[in-house]
Amino acid sequence: MSAARLRLGVNIDHVATIRNARGGAHPDPVKAARIAAAAGADGITAHLREDRRHITDADIAALSRDIDLPLNLEMAATDEMLEIALRHRPHAACIVPERREERTTEGGLDAAGQHNHLAPLVRMLGGARIRVSLFIEPDVRQLEAAVSLGAPVVELHTGAYAHAVIDGDTERTDMLLARIVAAAEAGQKMGLEVHAGHGLTFDNVGPVAAIPGIAELNIGHFLIGEAIFSGLDSAVRRMRALMDQARQAGLAA
Ligand code: PXP
């Protein structure tokens, strides 16, 4: 299914990072979610990490209770996170690989290698009517694994592409973008809903947003950083506009 309107999920983790630097209640991730919603976000994404370095259990409870947009809970494939997801029943759960020592989610999930570990988790989340997404590298083997696990959605990791853009390595950028294009097309053909995210900015979002097979982008760190300079409302609106322009141009091409 190719979505004419590309959805934007705003990841608010780093509002919590700033709040936690002082341990109080400000800035409030729920307030950020409301501003993002008013500025054109279609969903809110939050990653409850094992070490609770940014989003906390109380944030997930508050977001589930107080926002109108669909909540996408990013979670590691653990019993603890499964229990939390089943308790709050977010609209979606995106299963991500998690290593305590990493700064951010540095690679995709090995859905193929971890089939037996993931299968009951995907089944239980799906049984609770939570839309399961697997955060994977743009790789056919991982797409096939998502299908065999019965996950309806995959999110393609755009981090390597984003790094190549920053490095100014055009050859590598083109190669990595082509890989995302191919994975989006293959995923769609397999019946998966395809999302993408990680490391997206005003400068690199266009070529990804233009890929017609991609239904949703999840963007966080850059938007929250940019909000320091221009405000969150303005940052989300600009991202939304860039995504829409690129999608229109992609559909017209
Ligand atoms: N999608 C997933 C699955 C993620 O883990 C993250 C980072 O938490 C993002 C999207 C957003 O990445 P960024 O913060 O770099 O925009």
Q: How confident is the model at residue 101 (pLDDT cuts 50, 70, 90)?
A: low
pLDDT digits (tens, 9 = 90+) for 190-247: 999 999 999 999 999 999 999 999 999 999 999 999 999 999 999 999 999 999 999 9
Q: What is the predicted pLDDT for the residue at 100?
A: 63
Q: What is the predicted pLDDT for the residue at 1?
A: 42
Q: What is the predicted pLDDT for the residue at 4?
A: 66
Q: How confident is the model at residue 2 (pLDDT cuts 50, 70, 90)?
A: very low
> Residue 100 CB: number of other CB atoms within 10 A?
9
Dihedral sign computed on CA atoms, order 218, 224, 227, 232: positive
Pocket-testing residue among 218, 219, 224, 226, ligand 1, by greatest number of atoms within 8 A of Cβ: 218
- Per domain, the residue ranges of the chain are 7-252
pLDDT digits (tens, 9 = 90+) for 28-75: 999 999 999 999 999 999 999 999 999 999 999 999 999 999 999 999
Average of per-residue pLDDT values in the chain: 95
Tell me how far the alpha carbon of residue 244 lies from the centroid of ligand 1, in angstroms: 20
Q: What is the predicted pLDDT for the residue at 253?
A: 76
Q: Which residues line ligand 1 (CB under 6 A)?
A: 11, 13, 47, 74, 94, 96, 104-105, 135, 155, 197-200, 218-222
Q: What are phi and psi of 216, to 5 degrees?
A: -155, 140
Q: What are phi and psi of 71, to 5 degrees?
A: -100, 130
pTM for the model stands at 0.96
Pocket-testing residue among 7, 17, 45, ligand 1, by greatest number of atoms within 8 A of Cβ: 45
Q: Domain 7-252, what fold?
A: TIM Barrel (3.20.20)
Helix axes 29-38, 13-22, angle to 10 degrees: 150
Query: Do residues 186 and 141 touch, judged by C-beta distance below 8 A?
Result: no
Query: d(Cα 151, Cα 58) in Å, to the nearest integer?
Result: 27
Tell me how far the alpha carbon of residue 247 lies from the centroid of ligand 1, in angstroms: 20
Query: d(Cα 58, Cα 40) in Å, to the nearest integer?
Result: 25
